[in-house]
Amino acid sequence: MKGYRFVTGAVVGALTSATMMVAVQAAEYPTKAIELIVPYAAGGGTDLVARAYADAVNRHLPQSVGVVNKTGGGGAVGLSEIMAARPDGYRIGMGTVEITTLPNLGVARFTADDFTPIARLNAEPSAITVNAGAPWKTIEEFLAYAKENPGKVRIGNSGTGAIWHLAAEALATKSGLKFSHIPYDGANPAVTALLGNHIEAVSVSPAEVSSHVAAGTLRILAVMDDQRSKAFPDAPTLKEKGIDVTVATWRGIVVPKKTPANIVETLRTASKKAVEEQGFRDQLAKMNLSYAYLDGPEYKVAMEKDAEMFKVLMKQIGLSK
Amino acid sequence: MYELDMLLHGAQALLNQPMALLLALFGVTLGIIIGALPGLTATMGVAILLPFTFGMDPLSGLLMISGVFFGGIYGGSVTAILLKIPGTPAAAATAIDGYELTKKGQAGIALGTATFSSFLGGTASVFVLIFLAPVLARFALEFSASESFALAVFGLSIIASISGVSVIKGLISGFLGLLLATVGLDPMGGFPRYTGGYTELFNVPFIPVMIGLFAAAEAFKSLEDPQVRAGMAAALDRIIPPWHIFRRQLGNIARSSGLGIVIGMIPGAGADIAAFVAYNEAKRFSKTPENYGKGELGAVAACESGANGCTGGALLTMLTLGIPGDAVTAVMLGALTLQGLQPGPLLFKDHADLVFTLFAGMLVCYVFMLVVGLGSLRFMGRILQMPKSVLTPCILALCIVGTYAINNSMFDIWIMLAAGVVGYFMQKWDFPASPVVLALIMGPMAEANFRRALSLSNGSYDFLYTRPITAALLSIAIVTLLLPLLRRLWAQRSAGGPSTINPAAGTSRMGTPE
């Protein structure tokens, strides 16, 4: 009996202190280490951005931020975990463009509305890249060839339903063309196939082909962005060519929707200071990643715009469930 | 010789960088530990260390990472041989014969052979990387989806040679693995298959299954052993294999290293495939193929030199073309980029000094691996003297921690434990576990690449016979599958007369180790 009473007492005590702790924590957040969940494997692009951010933001928060990789399901596992985290600001996450695409595939329990965006850190547009030995010197020639040979042009992407597949599909729908979409296990194998002339083009980001473009083995025909890429100013945007397609992958910090406003504020301010550090920008530049900071509210607008676009597109091409 | 000159310059430059050498030693040691622990693979080790290289100079950072890579591939063999716990997928092949040798009390020689073979395979591959990189690099680009498919089919045909006593039971295990491999996202359409609504099952939980089938199953089995206080075996008597024994493995090691280098260069094929293929070929060319699976030193030598041969091959395509040959080099690609070194054709032109210093450092890394490996074996061998009442709980705890570390996921732990229970009964009823692992590696590779090849050829099956590499690999696969059958027929014919029909003669021939 004594033991039983002791257990009850302990439980009550623990519960009370836990409730009090939450109250205290909300007031003077953060009081303990923050976990930054990355839905992709260590060493990949998203992970590198997260680690660079964690490095920078640690100088602007009283507690440290540690990166935890939760991989699987093309990002669905990690993103679900961010969504389902207790909204106390101690588990924040790297939100990627998959927040807006996975819900349409019917493989995720979340939608874009389940997250409060804190800061966008990086964005990479899609680009149409061909082998340097290919006959097409401009995007017009390439598209004209695709028009004459419907279904013959094979575009490699990083997986069905993944962002670069959707980019190629968006181009196909907007310009009324028919491509053969070949999914690979990530962007790198697709680039390898292009180097070996096994496919005609890839729709991955300029960063993912930059070393080959520099070496003269691949050629970027166009980027799907609002402005030309700083690294490859010679490649035109599709917009310039009259095709209104902009598709980009992006990465940024998000928290669960119900996170209290003061915590969101703290994180936003710290993130803003972190991205202003030259060290952070240098780090991104070294990794061939573009700095594309947006503050919470603007990030939210961009996210909603993408959510809407992919909802329409994925229904159109029959990927939605 | 331009390369030799540059290499000597590199070696000189390296001597002036004691810090880089120290970090390389640290990397190798850490790699061996990571490789030996179940769940922690070389890929993960490299990924974890990556952020620490941000602040280092390129040489130190890259040498440390190379050290982890090399050590991690080798380290898997130690626990595979001693405890039948493959620390890495590649070591699943080593475990087949390595653990049998331990049971026979020859753990020391098995470990020593594994260490020397890893060293020789790895060093050979680095030399190929240094001297033949530009010549060989284009080969990797020949590999398209159809070639990868054919390689995977060849890999699957190896089930016939790793099945142990009964080919039928091996095939059953293999098909079980293939069935498991269909779980997850459909590689082409992206539809979830047999996931039961769990996002965790979108990728086949390969490493948890492997840890369960080998390590957890072994731990469960030793739970039923009444002699819990006894250690498994005596101490390691001799580690360095006597020359007259090791000499016989040299041809085997040379062949396996070559296979490893080639497989390492192929995009998407890594040390695990190399180890299994090397095993298969070693058995094919062996004078005593019937000893394979029962504790054959040649098997250990083949797997280890094959797996480490992969390292140089994978680095070769990564450095010359910017194409990672396997998962580890994919992460290393990031490390190079971070240091401002763009891998690709320009790397050798713009940074030749650094590249050749790095090559010299890689050779040193392999020497470190040999020294650290041999030095630690005696200590590692003590594991065998631990009473089972201590060892078994430790192994189970390691399995759980290691599994959790892969994805930080409890779900994986349940998968691992379930696989452990299945593995326990498989052992009890003599079903080999390695065909399951092989099928889990090759199944998804075969499926994805077959369908990709079909989509590349617009639905035509012509790629099966019009592409030379594909056709050759598929033919080898057919030969591998049929060879045991033909061998038996030949054996029966040469024995002559009706006596061969006598089933007793057949079984006794299979049963006696010659």
CATH number at residue A61: 3.40.190.150
Residue A6 domain flag: no
CB-based contact A156:A193 (threshold 8 Å) = yes
For A211, nearest residue in chain B (alpha carbons): B342
Residue A168 and residue A89 share a domain:
no
Residue A138 and residue A73 share a domain:
no
Residue B507 is predicted with a pLDDT of 39
Residue A173 domain flag: yes
User: Which 157-216 residues of chain B touch chain A by CB within 8 A?
Assistant: 185, 187-190, 192, 199-200, 202-203
List of chain A residues whose C-beta atoms are within 8 Å of the C-beta of residue B203: 71-73
Give how far A192 is from chain B: nearest CA, Å: 6
From first to last of its 514 residues, what are the pLDDT tens digits of chain B?
788 899 999 999 999 999 999 999 999 999 999 998 887 888 888 887 887 887 788 899 999 999 999 999 999 999 999 988 888 889 999 999 999 998 888 889 999 999 999 999 999 999 999 998 878 888 888 889 999 999 999 999 998 888 877 888 999 999 999 999 999 888 887 788 898 878 788 888 888 999 999 999 988 988 887 765 555 555 667 788 888 888 889 999 999 999 999 999 988 888 999 999 999 999 989 888 888 888 999 999 999 999 999 999 999 988 988 888 777 888 888 788 778 788 877 788 888 899 999 999 999 999 999 999 999 988 888 887 788 888 889 889 989 998 988 878 899 999 999 999 999 999 999 999 999 999 999 999 999 999 999 999 988 999 999 999 999 999 999 988 887 778 778 888 876 544 444 444 333 333 333 3
Give how far A185 is from chain B: nearest CA, Å: 8
Give how far B200 is from chain A: nearest CA, Å: 6
List of chain A residues whose C-beta atoms are within 8 Å of the C-beta of residue B54: 55, 283
List residues bridging with A116 in a β-sheet: A255
Buried b (16+ CB within 10 A) or exposed e, B252-289: bbebbbbbbbbbbbbbbbbbbbbbbbbbbbbbeebeeb
Q: How many domains does chain A have?
A: 2
List residues bridging with A319 in a β-sheet: none
- Partner residue opposite A211 with nearest CB, options B144, B202, B344: B344
Beta strands in A142-295 (DSSP E): 154-157, 180-183, 201-202, 218-223, 248-256, 291-295
- Partner residue opposite B323 with nearest CB, options A69, A107, A195: A195
CB-based contact A26:A266 (threshold 8 Å) = no
Residue A214 and residue A151 share a domain:
yes
Residue A161 and residue A185 share a domain:
yes
Q: Which helix (H) or strand (E) holds B262?
A: helix B250-265
Contact B200 A215 (CB under 8 A): no
List of chain A residues whose C-beta atoms are within 8 Å of the C-beta of residue B448: 185
Split at pLDDT 50, 70, 90, the class of A41 is: confident
List of chain B residues whose C-beta atoms are within 8 Å of the C-beta of residue A180: 455, 458
List of chain A residues whose C-beta atoms are within 8 Å of the C-beta of residue B268: 185, 189
Contact B334 A195 (CB under 8 A): no
- Residue-wise DSSP of A154-183: EEEESSTTSHHHHHHHHHHHHHT---EEEE
Sign of CA dihedral A49, A50, A56, A57: positive
Percentage above 70 pLDDT, chain A:
92
Given A180, A204, A223, the domain boundary residue is A223
A91 close to B (CB below 8 A): no
The closest of B39, B34, B31 to B402, measured between CA atoms, is B39
Burial class (CB in 10 A: 0-12, 13-18, 19+), A14: exposed
Question: Hey, how many other C-beta atoms are within 10 angstroms of the C-beta on A161?
Answer: 26
A318 close to B (CB below 8 A): no
Give how far A4 is from chain B: nearest CA, Å: 30
Q: Which residue has the tokens 């310059």?
A: B9
Residue A192 domain flag: yes
Q: How many CB pairs under 8 A join A and B?
A: 132
Range of the structural domain that residue A169 is part of:
127-223
Given A204, A223, A242, the domain boundary residue is A223
Residue A214 and residue A142 share a domain:
yes
Split at pLDDT 50, 70, 90, the class of A8 is: low
List of chain B residues whose C-beta atoms are within 8 Å of the C-beta of residue A77: 199-200, 202, 407, 409
Give how far B202 is from chain A: nearest CA, Å: 5
The amino acid at residue B65 is I
Residue A8 domain flag: no
Residue B498 is predicted with a pLDDT of 47
Contact B192 A107 (CB under 8 A): yes
The amino acid at residue A308 is E
User: Which 41-80 residues of chain A touch chain B by CB within 8 A?
Assistant: 41-44, 47-48, 51, 55, 68-74, 76-77, 80
CA atoms within 13 A on the CB side of A68: 22
Domain of A193, CATH number, reads 3.40.190.10
Contact A107 B458 (CB under 8 A): no
- Partner residue opposite B267 with nearest CB, options A189, A210, A217: A189
Least confident of A106-115, A240-249, B40-49, B106-115: B40-49
Domain residue extents for chain B: 2-192+206-225+239-511
Give how far A184 is from chain B: nearest CA, Å: 8
Residue A150 and residue A103 share a domain:
no
- Partner residue opposite A215 with nearest CB, options B47, B141, B344: B344
Burial class (CB in 10 A: 0-12, 13-18, 19+), B341: buried
- The Cα angle at residue A191 between residues A128 and B268, in degrees rounded to 5: 155
User: Which 213-272 residues of chain A touch chain B by CB within 8 A?
Assistant: 214-215, 217
Structure tokens of A148? 């004459």
| Averaged pLDDT score across all residues of chain A | 89
Contact A161 B330 (CB under 8 A): no
Structure tokens of B155? 């890999």
Residue A20 domain flag: no
